Amino acid sequence: MKVAFLGTGLMGQPMAQRLLEKDVQLIAYNRTPEKLEPIKAAGAEIAEHPHQAISAADYVVLMLTNTAAIYTVLLSDMSSRSVAGKQVIQMGTITPTESREIRDAVVAAGGDYIEAPVLGSIPEAKAGKLIVMVGALRDQYRHSLELLKHFGPEPILVGSVGSAAALKLALNQLIASLTSAFGLSLGFIQSQGINPDIFMQILRESAVYAPTFDKKLQRMVDGNYTNPNFPMKHLVKDTDYFIEEAKEAGLNVSSIQGVREILDMAMKMGMKNQDYSSLFEAIKAGE
């Protein structure tokens, strides 16, 4: 197989490198050419324009920032004419509504489309241990399974297109909510003069413990949010996507809207490109 990898940013780069390590033929495109250098050095062919990558490949993997980027890179006039006969695998985080709309556009252009968003971060991407959630028909899932297994050992067929995108948003809503809840408790016990080590000792032995608390604890205590695996701006985007879709489903979104206010404050404090645990600074800043 030959794979066109479109989008070699924070997550796309280690995912593309993983394919190269597995001797998959790769042609890559990124709107910011400088981000292609590590991929080029690892042996990837580089395309100057997205339609060149699409035309040269059997599979087209999308790891782009948002839906607007997908339309620009994949479904512009030149690129869409190259989609016919290709298997398009959308692996970024978008809404289920958007995913179904992109599927319809790809199918209209003569291509095939599935979604396969992932849960995990840069270390998991490098190790091929991402959790891959697939929205596809069963035959499409089987057709792409060999490729998807390079990213995670057991890609999970969730349902039709839209279902995996929805599941990914549900999980990222938990990232935002759990991290803000943990940050609030941590800030509170610190304000009361309680040693965070005692707090964590008891928390780890309780039913409410989540491993993400330990992953973010030291960043919050040290106030060090550099070198993010998942920056604040991306969590804000995904939270907005979730709120939009949850409202459409008729759900009460008051809790996540409160979290969204904290994220907005963190963004205004200059945390856009910092690790999302920097929401702790907004919590400590008060109202």
Catalytic (active-site) positions: 168
The number of beta carbons lying within 10 Å of the beta carbon of residue 79 is 23
**What is the CB neighbour count within 10 angstroms for residue 250?**
6
CA angle 215, 220, 222 (to 5 degrees): 110
Alpha-carbon dihedral angle through residues 214, 220, 226, 228, given to the nearest 10 degrees:
40
At residue 28, the 3 state secondary structure works out as strand
* Phi, psi for 61 (deg, rounded to 5): -95, 130
Residues 261-274 as b/e (b if ≥16 CB within 10 A, e otherwise) read ebbebbbeeebeeb
Distance of CA 76 to the CA centre of its chain: 23
Contacts of 212 (CB under 8 A, 6+ apart): 175, 178, 179, 182
* Structure tokens that stand for 45 in this block: 């062919």
Asked if 256 and 246 touch (Cβ cutoff 8 Å), the reply is yes
Query: 69: how many CB neighbours lie within 10 A of its CB?
Result: 17
What is the H or E stretch that residue 243 is in?
A: helix 232-248
